[in-house]
Structure 1
Amino acid sequence: MLTRDEYLVGWSVGHGVVPSRLVAGWLRAAYRVARPLTRLGVSPSAISVLGVALIGGGAFAAGRWPALGGLLIAAGGVCDGVDGAVALVAGRAGRRGALVDAACDRVGDLLLGVGLAAAGAPGWVCGTAVAVGFAHEGVRVVARRRRLRLGVTVSERPTRVIVTVMFLVAAGLGVLADAGWWASAGAWTSLLLAAAGLVQLLAKITASAR
């Protein structure tokens, strides 16, 4: 079983970037959760699937109870962080697990858009945000195959989850505006961040090719 420092190094190597203080704090928390799960023999893929199930439940609940939907999506987002930690700590990071994790992430991204749409956001905005997010991840995959280290952008998956959770909770509380307004604001924010992140990646790839 990896120590905490070994885990942090493994994460940095896998992502090609040194984590910020905020990210490092989250990684330490994920490590604490991963250790007992690793001892129990919990599969990283099982955690990934659980995360998708929670996000799906949140997207379904968002139509009537946006705040509850946001909380369920937040729990799914936590699973998304812990599954990778378990894989690294247990030494079970492999191609099959990576494929399961990537598939669950993309389904989860789609469900984030569904949740905002269910809460009252325009469907076309949610759909476009999801599509641009998919393009963002596709470009990153191509870059990794070319062994380009691009670092992080403003539209990483944790950011997408956090934005959705924040605006769904605000929609449920109904502070200053109704649920539809908050959900729409969340969808537009997701779209703008996804577009900005994609531009960042393309700019870094262009710079690396020179």
Structure 2
Amino acid sequence: MKVIVREDAVGEVRRLRAQLERVQGRRMDAAVLPVHSALADILPGGGLRAGAAYTVAPSASLLLSLMARPSQEGSWCAAVGMPELGAEAAAGLGVALERLVLVPEPGARWLGVVATLAEVMPVVAVRPTGTVSDAEASRFMARLRDRGATLIVQGVWPQAEAALQVTGARWSGLGEGHGYLSSREVTVSVQSRRSPVPRRARMLLPDPMGALSAVPAALAEEQLPVHRPLRAVG
């Protein structure tokens, strides 16, 4: 049976869809912190949404890269529970050190420390030293939304907006038994609650200058590996 769809009906659907996307875009633009363009291409909404949590595994470099643009553009950032995190590495990845607060050893009450910092800091990153229940996460996320802060977790977090994962690392710079490691090419995958299909991109993390940069699209398409879908985000 042949189905005939009226052109005016199709046009109305397209008009409503475009209107919805514009409204959603305005809402997202008003509450999204900028990130490096290579990350913006694969993150839902093109940046870090205020009041949301993101998980990163297992790369501290990727975590710092997410904080770079917000700190450069005036947002204060905090990193909790990461004693090995170095100021030099953070600066190399673009983090503005004058707007970075480090809390290396928060102790057993790390979640309270993070909650306190989220009251005054737009971006707070943490490596949890214990598990967080769904109830605790719900209370924390309500507080995060109220303050308009963003949480980046190196590890597991219930109700995360998106999960970022680094895979397929390949170092460059070494010759046959000599030379120095100059850059690392990786695949960054993002699985979000808004889209069941992961988005992936090849990046240099770090690039020869110690920062994050995108792999040219032509090369990325040739080298991009196929991954199984990541575990569903809480």
For normalisation by structure 2, the TM-score amounts to 0.22
Who wins on radius of gyration, i.e. which is larger? 2
TM-score for the superposition, normalised by structure 1: 0.24
The structure carrying a bigger helix percent of its residues is 1
- Relative to its length, the structure with more strand (as a share) is 2
